Amino acid sequence: MKYGRKVHTKSVLADGKVLVTGGCCSAAGNSTELYDPSTGRWTTIGNLNYVRQFHTASLLPNGKVLVTGGTNNVVVLNSAELYDPSKRSWTTTGNIDNARKLHTTSVLTNGKVLVAGGENETALLKSAQLYDPSTGKWTTTGNMKYARAFHTESVLFDGNVLVTGGAPFQVECLNNAEVHDPSTSRWTTTENLNNARQLHTASLLPDGKVLVTGGTNNVVVLNTAELYDPSTRNWTTTGKMKYARLLHTASVLSDGKVLVTGGNGNTVILNSAELYDPSTRSWTTTGNMNYARLFHTASVLFDGTVLVTGGNNSTEILNSAELYDPSIGNWITAGNPNNARMSHTT
């Protein structure tokens, strides 16, 4: 990429290209670029209307990408904008009612986008809102039971949305989870997680369960993992990762296994990667990345490989990108993004 970046976003578009937006630092803030897997090249495209980091990006059913909130390092934003792949340009859309960063978004089965939680300049949020692409407007929906940031959000097979854990850095982590029912706009709590955690990952498995991995309980970095079963609304522990990690990524591969990469261990930034096998509920190590990184992103491409970009190590923000090939269990370098980025989204 052209500039070092963190806290940006990344989205796999309908044509298989990868869109990277915003992030820190400096000139990276409102720039966007595209990765073409067929050529391995990055190209810069139209800038966002607003500098933003700690925002989210959601691929809509119509192929456009909705970017929401974040911060420009001065104020927290309530603005939202749309990327049109056919024009490679951005247009503003309706503002969110509550400015927020460190929130989560999910595209629901009805095509609307649910935004939940996060924080503004003064408070942690439990509010949630819905974006309707057909009108470009936001409406409020039921509040979560608990205010939270640094949490995860997953759309389940039944269309409900699972939110797990989170908390601000200075406050005790949450061990609770709750489910949003779009048909009633209500949130209900599930059984508690076995470990309080934030800065973790959540992955929807092919059997409909959700795998949560790592993070921190604000005392130690975790190597624990657990499974949510929507049919019972209960959590059960599963095999532990080889390495404790937070600010890592987790990607569900075409064979149903889950690839976890990088992150921050107890004392070091990691270049390690490991695989979770749902059939055995165990982890095995796989090839190390070429660069240790956290605040990076990972996306499964149409050919089944996984693209990892940006993030930072102990000395610099990275502009490197690399591809994991599940068939060989190893990494190859990909065309460097034009802007180094970290903490982007997928």
Instruction: Give me the residue spans of the domains in the chain.
Output: 104-344
- Segment 271-280 shows an average pLDDT of 99
* % of the chain residues with pLDDT over 70: 96
Q: What is the mean pLDDT of the chain?
A: 94
- Segment 245-251 shows an average pLDDT of 98
| Per-residue pLDDT reduced to its tens digit, 158-197 | 999 999 999 976 778 999 999 999 999 999 999 999 999 9
pTM of the model: 0.95
- Segment 324-336 shows an average pLDDT of 92
At 192 the pLDDT is 98
**Is the predicted pLDDT of residue 6 greater than 90, yes or no?**
no
- CATH architecture type of domain 104-344: 6 Propeller (2.120)
Q: Which two tokens stand for residue 221?
A: 């970095």
| Per-residue pLDDT reduced to its tens digit, 284-312 | 999 999 999 999 999 999 999 999 989 99
- Segment 205-231 shows an average pLDDT of 98
Q: How confident is the model at residue 98 (pLDDT cuts 50, 70, 90)?
A: very high
